[in-house]
Chain A
């Protein structure tokens, strides 16, 4: 086997997804609308196939490919698997929803696969250009997805907002990268790290570049003070797209933070640590306090995301392997919770009705006690109440931050978690304490019901037995970051 084929092997999952996405786009032209189901099946099979390849070609060490443009390490494998899972679950939850709203078209699935590809490239990018390419592929697909429900003015507005602000953020990121290139003469992540280690000549330009990169990343993560787009986009997008943006893409953004801040610029830890502290504090304050005032669940979950990102940053700013492992655990737990939470909203939606107001949950316990219970688990998990997964997520980042000596910040975070508990409890209040007003039956495909149940109950089971999951996150971090 020559070098190129080895490189191709490393990127095999990406290649498969790319080929299949293009195939699906073409196939859609030749399919009768009644046979569109085939596209759904093919998309799921693609994700399954990519997962199988990722597992079969997984590496226990760091493997570079394409002259250091691309990397395969345990972290990349783990995050890719999480992305496939999140995407696949999103597709299961969304099938009924999009077919009722005339979005069950080949474009939807092709765009989802292309954004998945973008995310995979972000996860495996070892070079500023690779990372940027992945990010742009993802972002452009997302702008289109947000606007997919084209007759809906609020979707269009959300897409515009997302596009303008997203382009700005990408620009900032690119500008920061260019400054870093100017100082270190390198675009490769390991190259930049080495150059910085050997002593960078111009610290001022370096910090300026760092500020731009952190701002760009914060935008993509949705951390305050770069959070303005989050509520509007979450609210305006079709719920399935909100689910996608809220779950899988956060994993990719997380990977980018790991690659850029931790791997490329670990020498500048002391510099970005301070920035992350400010962002964490602001995110927790804005996220938790603004969420209280929301009457729309999607907006509320948007602010809740912002606060979760604040907690995630606690893991990063601890600047230790322990902290990074906790951050990994946190983001993956968060994705599981988000999937289940939006799953319930999708479940309650029906033709011409979006169950996106808090009132729409009223009396759910009377209508369907099982789904009310599942949503209860999601809410308590998001609030970080044991015995749910959310508790361990908060626990791990808090212990990492405390270990790093951020005692005041931890106490502050805990008080913010308390404020956050209030609006999650309010959701439970609507479901359990109020009388139902809407008695229409809840219908959903069997596969969705099943996956949703497993998803939400998983929060409880993983909350009781989290050790495997924690160990996997720690393993991925320790074997990928030197």
Chain B
């Protein structure tokens, strides 16, 4: 079984499926495009399952390694491999793609083949980001991902989509180009683009700080951290539901993952040196952005800000440099993948029926859509971090981790348990409960079988990982410990 190039398959099956879907052509063949996309996404998910089944939990290094010479002139290899932090994210990616394909089933009526193909191709590219062990290969996947996302927001997005998608593209590109410069610098120092080689390479502190800043700009934009987060609310509001789901569930995780893969292990001394700065930014995101979320009038914007706030926990967890914080951050990333997907899908369900995302246009939805409301309330609870849901586990672990470092970190982080609950539940109250606001709300039809299926699936996962988060922690444990051991060693060259 290990003879099969599972990682290559995980990357290329969705991409090839996407190309096949494109070949169905115009909207006359929309239904075959849909079925082919569903088949492709399920196949894409199926090929990633062996990564979990065949994974050696005790080993913290890279597994399923594939290596082919690619561009010998620059020592660039087609080098793939995964460790405990990449596998959960790859599974999340391939799973989310299935959800997105189903979620767009009837909703997308215009250029169906292109829509479905964009998501399939994007899925393969994002798995490539998680699996690449060569800096240039990684960079190519990282940037290539922008192209389909740019089209998804721009073609199927809302009224202000052009502004949002160009802002998204340029913002992300700025950070990544500086990262490319950092990679080239590292290449000239070491003669290779192999990431593992960069881990071993000694670097002076001032060099480390510059490289860290280049990485920081690339990843902080993607996560996004305060104050480079402003593209996210725009992109989320304008993106179609599927686009929002992929952005929130996976694209943001690319940034988080990359901190663990690049910024921290390549420049550990700079990471320690700047950890206070990083923690400050994270706490600002947790506290301040949560307050910003409170005053939003647009449901999608509210969830977008809530995403930024939750991702603050992820970066906070990373820069605590203890196992609890880092594993908590990993759990938080996966759990946020499910919860934010679900929240955006719920807004999508309402938007498809009412064509409005304004909180003020709703009220008393629970009366006409009781089953839907039950789901929404569950996800809202998870979003505010209620024990028993996956949202609780990650936040709790990070708060425990931060209390070991500094009481006030933990104190500030814990305010999210109040503010998070406040903005989520207040939105629920205004949209779903109370008087029926208008005749359109009264005429709403409850969710159909397709919507029930995807929301049900996500509900099971949210509850499942809330009660039993073991699969994630078990998988990441060895890698996180190895990473922390690595981070504890200075990489400064001997004087």
- Contact residues of A with B, CB < 8 Å? 365, 369, 376, 380, 385-387, 391, 395, 398-399, 402-403, 407, 410-411, 414-415, 417-418, 421-422, 425-426, 428-429, 432-433, 466-467, 470-471, 474
A-B pairs, top 6 by smallest CB distance, nearest first, are A386-B140, A414-B177, A433-B154, A467-B71, A399-B184, A402-B184
> In the complex, what distance in Å separates the CA atom of A413 from the CA atom of B173?
13
Asked whether B151 is an interface residue with its Cβ less than 8 Å from the other chain, the reply is: yes
> In the complex, what distance in Å separates the CA atom of A385 from the CA atom of B141?
10
From A391, A428, A467, give the contact of B150 (CB < 8 A).
Answer: A428
Q: Which residues of B contact A376 (CB under 8 A)?
A: 147
Task: Assess whether A380 is in contact with B177, with CB atoms less than 8 Å apart.
Answer: no
Q: Which residues of A contact B70 (CB under 8 A)?
A: 467
Asked whether B403 is an interface residue with its Cβ less than 8 Å from the other chain, the reply is: no
Task: Assess whether A432 is in contact with B155, with CB atoms less than 8 Å apart.
Answer: yes
> In the complex, what distance in Å separates the CA atom of A54 from the CA atom of B151?
44
Asked whether B73 is an interface residue with its Cβ less than 8 Å from the other chain, the reply is: yes
A–B pairs, 29, beta carbons within 8 Å: A365-B155, A386-B144, A395-B180, A398-B181, A399-B74, A399-B184, A399-B187, A402-B181, A410-B181, A414-B178, A414-B181, A418-B170, A421-B169, A421-B173, A422-B166, A425-B150, A425-B169, A426-B166, A428-B150, A429-B162, A429-B166, A432-B154, A433-B154, A433-B161, A433-B165, A467-B70, A470-B71, A470-B74, A471-B73
From B162, B174, B184, B187, give the contact of A418 (CB < 8 A).
Answer: B174
Q: Which residues of A contact B180 (CB under 8 A)?
A: 395, 398, 414
Task: Assess whether B181 is in contact with A411, with CB atoms less than 8 Å apart.
Answer: yes
From A385, A398, A402, give the contact of B143 (CB < 8 A).
Answer: A385
> In the complex, what distance in Å separates the CA atom of A422 from the CA atom of B185?
26
Mark out the residues of chain B between 121 and 160 whose CB falls within 8 Å of any chain A CB in the assembled complex. 136, 139-140, 143-144, 146-147, 150-151, 154-155
What number of B residues sit within 8 Å (CB to CB) of A?
A: 36
Task: Assess whether B185 is in contact with A402, with CB atoms less than 8 Å apart.
Answer: yes
Task: Assess whether A432 is in contact with B169, with CB atoms less than 8 Å apart.
Answer: no
From B26, B73, B144, B177, give the contact of A467 (CB < 8 A).
Answer: B73
> In the complex, what distance in Å separates the CA atom of A44 from the CA atom of B14?
42
> In the complex, what distance in Å separates the CA atom of A399 from the CA atom of B135?
14
Contact A391-B140, Cβ < 8 Å, known A402-B181, A411-B178: yes
Mark out the residues of chain B between 18 and 63 whose CB falls within 8 Å of any chain A CB in the assembled complex. 25-26
Mark out the residues of chain B between 59 and 95 whose CB falls within 8 Å of any chain A CB in the assembled complex. 70-74
Q: Which residues of A contact B174 (CB under 8 A)?
A: 415, 418
Contact A399-B188, Cβ < 8 Å, known A410-B181, A425-B169, A466-B71: yes
By beta carbon, the residue of chain A nearest B72 is A467
How many whole Å from B136's CB to the nearest CB in chain A? 8
> In the complex, what distance in Å separates the CA atom of A385 from the CA atom of B180?
12
Q: Known pairs A376-B147, A398-B184, A433-B165; list 18 more (Cβ under 8 Å).
A: A369-B25, A385-B147, A386-B139, A386-B143, A395-B136, A399-B74, A411-B181, A414-B178, A418-B170, A418-B174, A418-B177, A422-B170, A425-B166, A429-B162, A432-B155, A433-B154, A467-B73, A470-B74
Task: Assess whether B181 is in contact with A432, with CB atoms less than 8 Å apart.
Answer: no
Asked whether B306 is an interface residue with its Cβ less than 8 Å from the other chain, the reply is: no
Q: Which residues of A contact B26 (CB under 8 A)?
A: 369
Asked whether B114 is an interface residue with its Cβ less than 8 Å from the other chain, the reply is: yes
By beta carbon, the residue of chain A nearest B177 is A414
Q: Which residues of A contact B114 (CB under 8 A)?
A: 365, 369
By beta carbon, the residue of chain B nearest A474 is B73
Task: Assess whether B184 is in contact with A391, with CB atoms less than 8 Å apart.
Answer: no
By beta carbon, the residue of chain A nearest B185 is A402
> In the complex, what distance in Å separates the CA atom of A425 from the CA atom of B73?
31
Q: Which residues of B contact A418 (CB under 8 A)?
A: 170, 173-174, 177
By beta carbon, the residue of chain B nearest A398 is B184
Q: Which residues of A contact B187 (CB under 8 A)?
A: 399
> In the complex, what distance in Å separates the CA atom of A376 from the CA atom of B151?
10
> In the complex, what distance in Å separates the CA atom of A402 from the CA atom of B166?
29
> In the complex, what distance in Å separates the CA atom of A428 from the CA atom of B150?
10
Q: Which residues of B contact A415 (CB under 8 A)?
A: 174, 177
> In the complex, what distance in Å separates the CA atom of A429 from the CA atom of B170?
14
